[in-house]
Structure 1
């Protein structure tokens, strides 16, 4: 999976934590031995549960080992067991209300105990640099069509411009402008694939004023210009 400017590999023996919403592009490599389909599960943590757990457990991972909003770690037997119990509830819907909250809490507890626990800790701690950058990222996601000034974003994060740049890039592997660009392009690709709008209208709708710039940056991001990529997507849908 490519997240920001970093490429990370993960497999059935690992799990990942994404502490901020980052643009990501992934490839799935099938298991040539079992031919089993790709299956993934995810959990969006509730900060209040994390905060409560933090009052009850010791260390939560070493932040010096990881430097971004996305990291991978080996899965433990205890974490896997908690997930299995959670997923088994699909077959027992009458038990979900009673047991799912406890299993969710255990999953978060196991992650907090592991090497990526610091990432959850920072989500639940309002004054950390991660929490401040998270606030800015949410603003960019909501207002991605607007022009941005780094000075305004730094003020929103209550950081100097230089400190804001440094922490934003450390967490996302992107500059704020690059992050906004990737968000725009992700939305544009989704619109091209689903809306039926022409390419220029899609470019305008996500904040671009220049068709040439849009096509150039789209091709750099996805490997094909918008028109060729749209044909590829349409052909894929036809085959399926």
Structure 2
């Protein structure tokens, strides 16, 4: 018998059970919930959800009950209470809760990651011991008792508000340290330290997020990133699973969908607002992305809501 497993698993089960109680106490109904600790957010869902397309910011996503699937381009990542997901760069992702019920709701924790804090931590501790390779800006990792214990101590602080200002920064720093020293720590290192190729790719990602409606010229984007066009294309796809053009298209279509649903724009107006000059091209690409024409998609979503 593996004695280390005998000792670790009961700790993980106990930590998770307490986290379920703490999150349920604040997430009393389906929805998203901010907390008194700014980077910390809770989520609850009482039934499996539709596929939701959104822009994931750098974050640690931990499930304490239920299961969820994240889709990045043509890749799928399923995670549950035994595995956590980390997003190290801004990415257009489709997410779907796949296991939840009123008796056992999906309960999730998101901890926003600030690359500046990672950079400061590296400056203080040095890069010694970093493992893993720089690759995709999204990964799933097996949970361990140490990281779960640190997260639990952070969440417990919500019950003692007077301790948050002093102790939350320590717990947050420890969580960043645990991720940085984990198997995929180099991915966080690469986005935080200037002049790595991945950090330069993040400049291109940030530019696209701000200027997705503008025509994309790879040469200009490469110049902005201080990379050759071929290196930018290669590294961009390694980090995001998409080419810059495919990434831009995801941003455009997600924003167009928001404009159609939340602001009531017509199909041609939404397409034009996000950079499409041809309404027919916009409708074709929208249909491929979301499974039906824009007008039908909006009607379906409103009926579902």
Q: Same fold (TM over 0.5)?
A: yes
Q: Distance in 2 between matches of 1:52 and 1:184?
A: 34
Higher normalized strand content (fraction of residues): 2
Question: Would you say 1:51 and 2:115 are equivalent positions?
Answer: no
Equivalence for 1:8? 77
Moved >6 Å (runs of 4+): none
Of 137, 143, 148, which aligns to 1:69?
137
| Contact map agreement 1:86 1:100 (CA 8 A) in 2 | yes
| Distance in 2 between residues matched to 1:189 and 1:61, nearest whole Å | 39
Higher helix share goes to which structure? 1
- How big is the shift at 1:154? 0.9
Tell me if 1:102 matches 2:185.
no
CA distance in 1, matches of 2:278, 2:84: 40
Distance 1:89 1:232 in 2: 42
Query: Are the counterparts in 2 of residues 168 and 176 from structure 1 also a CA contact under 8 Å?
Result: yes
Match of 1:28 in 2: 97
Partner Cα separation in structure 1 for residue 116 and residue 219 of structure 2: 31
**1:13 to partner: Cα distance:** 1.0
- How many residues of Structure 1 are paired with residues of Structure 2 in the alignment? 234
Structure-2 residue corresponding to 1:227: 295
Q: Mark the CA change 1:45 to 1:26 in structure 2 (over 3 Å): closer, same or farther.
A: closer
Residues 191 and 197 in structure 1, CA contact (< 8 A), matched pair in contact too: yes
Normalised by the length of structure 2, the TM-score is: 0.73
Give the Cα separation in 1 of the matches to 2:114 and 2:90: 15
Unaligned 5+ segments in structure 2 are 1-69
Question: How far did 1:199 drift?
Answer: 1.5
- Higher RCO (CA 8 Å, separation ≥ 6 residues): 1
Please tell me the root mean square deviation across aligned C-alpha atoms, in Å: 1.6
2:218 counterpart of 1:155: no
